[in-house]
Structure formats: structure tokens, C-alpha cells
Chain A
């Protein structure tokens, strides 16, 4: 198809011409998705560790639930957040609908189960390795949670990056709660959807290519950062 060839050319042009409008969309996408991932991680990483360390009634059910929620449809999350934030909803007084804050909230909800589930898997294995040693040191479960989070940090970067991938790639939720308002809540994915609906397939594809490149860049950056603090051997 001619569109694909045109798209790569356009993508290149988008990157080299540094158009302010386009840069704004990219910056907004990054700010929103990174904020969402940071918020989700602050909540989800400790919860993943709690699931790995504490034995409580309902824990198996909680693990099943969290794993199932990894597949939450973005549109469903968008709708739930919309109903919460709508003026007619319980949080309507905050006036957050159609703002970046609403998009961050929706993406956090979408990302949190992924980070919880992946963190749980990583930390459960680490806990098996550490449990006796930490008990012997006299660590209580609360101490163990922080120890596991710190010692598992390199692997947890992967879990958080998986969350970032989900956040930055989804369109269903941010379209509903953000409204795709130009210069306010328009991000990469909603722009792609918009350009597709205008029939500008090559431009939409070019934006998609840039989105992939950004995802590659962010992931490479995260792995590089993690690698700097990792031991050389092993």
C-alpha cells in the first residue's frame, strides 16, 4: 500500500521538523502516561508486595481478581471514570471531567492491576528466596515488604514499564474522560484515532510510528537507568 510508504516519510518529517503543535501532543502524552504510571506504581508496588508476603483469608481470590483485572477493557474503565467524574456523578463537584487529571486517573486505574499482578509474581519468587534469611534477621512482614521492593527494584522496572506501555497505548479510556480536546486533552492515541476518522491514514500511521519510537525510547531509558545501578556480574 502506498499509505505505508508515505507514513514512514511523514513520520520522519514529523520528527525532524519539530512542529510545536505535534511536540505539545507528544509532551502531553508523556506527562499524562508517566504521571499515571507513577501514581499507579506508588499504590500497586506495595500492594503486590503485600500479596507476596502476607497470608490472609481471601488472598487467593485477590490474586485471581488482580490477574483478571489486568485485562480490563479501557472503554469500561473510561466509562466508570466518566460516571464518577460527571457533574451528575459522585465526584462531579471536582470539575475534573475533560481534563488531563481525568485521563491520569483513568490510566492509573487501568495500569494498577497490571503492576500489582506483575509485582506480585516477581516479589513472590524473591520472597521464597529471602524469607528464612529475613526472619532470621528479625524482620517483620512490614520490613520485608520494603526489603523486597528495594531488592526487587530491577525486575520491578519491567512491571512498571509494562504498565507504561498499556497507559501510553490505550485510547478508549482517555477518549471518553479526556474528550480529545485540542491543546488540552489531545494525546498521541486520540490524535491517531481522529486522523484515522478524517481518513488521513498516512498521517495516523506516521503518528503511530512516532508513538512506537517513543515507547522504545522510554523503555530503553528505563532499562539503562536500571542497568546503571545493577552489579556488573550476574
Chain B
């Protein structure tokens, strides 16, 4: 049973007396790749964590369609900016989430092999994950996520620390995951990346969604001042 759309209703997240996420209401539906764009500190990571359930809102609600919390948790996953590599082999890293979901040994092996070959990690399968390079780590994080066949995948600036070659590889895998039918919600502050990947843009400024638009329309002429300033490369104060 599908868990999308995800509905946020008047979600606030407060810390230290500040509204870091202020009154966000939105629906996230299956289909188009949604890019969360905004400057550093705009609240992109926080919003992803609230959606993914790693943080609870101070007020408002985050609700998945028709699913209980357990079921929703199993149908979604997230790739972090600096993913934690479990202290075991590449293969065992992919196996971990599958075991938690109770996938049997045979099906598991099959899904691991597919995920590793789709991310170009087959040759590294028995390497300890902790010795991988930055780009390989991020590909492993994607393989781990993909193997779980999620309905929705959150990505939090997955290429922020990577060189162009590794970035291209990650973007290609994200496209593949999308084509295979998983909803992509990805945060970035890299305008070029947003242009390359976005079908739809959610622009975030100081904890608020100032604009949500089709990618083509957004890049042609943003409707909000902060988005326009960001696109022009002006500094926002």
C-alpha cells in the first residue's frame, strides 16, 4: 500500500527560541523529482529530517497516507551528506537494512548483487566500507537505500563534499532510482545540480517555503524575491 502523498500541515520546528522551520504546509506526491533549494541554513536538512521522521515537529503534523508509522518507516529511506559507514564490508552494509526488514537470505543476496552492480560497487563488495573513498561511500549509501526499494528517497546534499566526477556518478544513480519508480526529494544548495536534476523546485528561505514551481518556470523567472536573489547569486541578508 502506497504511503504517498506525504502531507505536512502547519509544521514548525523551534530550537533555542527561534523558528527554524516556520509554519510549512505542503504535499509531496509520487512522480516528479523534487529539489529542495536554498542557501545554507535555510532549513533544508531540517525539513528533510522532519519529513523522514528523524525529528518530531514542535507543532503541526507530518502524515503519510493511510500507513501506520511502522509501515511508513519501511517504505522510505534517506541518504545523508556524510553517510555513516557501518564497520563491516560493503556487502554487509547493504545487507543491514534488508535484514532489519526481514528479507530472507536468498532474496537478500539477489537484491544486494543488483544494488551493488547498479552503483558500480560489485568489485568492492568485500572491502571494509570504512576504507572507501568519499565518492564510493556515497555510492554505497545509495546502494543501501536502493536495495530497500523505497517508495520515497530523501537525499541531503549527497554531493556536497564530492569532486565533479563523483558528483556525476551520484547524479546518474539518482536518475536511475527515479526512473525505477522511487520518488526523489533532494536538498541542494548547488544551483547547477538543481538545474540538472529538478523536475520541481521547492525554494526554502529562513525556514519558510517561499516558492514551489515547475523547474522550467522557476529557473525562467522565480516569483519570490529570495529565490530571485539566490538565482542571481546575490547574498541574502
Which residues of chain A have a CB within 8 Å of any CB of chain B?
129-130, 132-133, 135-139, 143, 147, 150-154, 231-234
Contact = CB atoms under 8 A, between A and B. Distances in A.
Nearest to B86: A151
B15 to A, nearest CB: 16
Contacts of B97: 137-138
B87 A151 contact: yes
22 contacts: A130-B84, A132-B49, A132-B54, A132-B80, A133-B84, A135-B53, A135-B54, A137-B77, A137-B97, A137-B100, A137-B144, A138-B73, A147-B86, A151-B86, A151-B87, A151-B88, A153-B87, A231-B87, A231-B128, A231-B130, A233-B130, A234-B130
A154 B97 CA distance: 22
B54 A232 contact: no
Given A136-B78, A152-B87, 6 more contacts: A132-B80, A133-B80, A137-B96, A137-B100, A138-B74, A154-B87
Contact of A143 (B74, B83, B100, B128): B100
Contacts of B131: 231-234
Interface string B47-91: 001001110000000000000000001100110100110111000
Nearest to A140: B100
A229 to B, nearest CB: 9
Interface string B95-107: 0110011000000
B86 A138 contact: no
B-side interface mostly: mixed
A14 to B, nearest CB: 41
A55 to B, nearest CB: 14
A129 B86 CA distance: 10
Interface string B144-176: 100000000000000000000000000000000
Interface of B: 49, 52-54, 73-74, 77-78, 80, 83-84, 86-88, 96-97, 100-101, 128, 130-131, 144
B84 A129 contact: yes
Nearest to B84: A133
Given A232-B131, A234-B131, A136 B54 contact: yes
A151 B88 CA distance: 7
Contacts of A133: 80, 83-84
Contacts of A147: 86, 96
B80 A139 contact: no
In this complex, the member of B49, B80, B86 whose beta carbon has the largest number of chain A beta carbons within 10 angstroms is B86
A152 B84 CA distance: 14
Contacts of B77: 136-137
Contacts of B74: 138
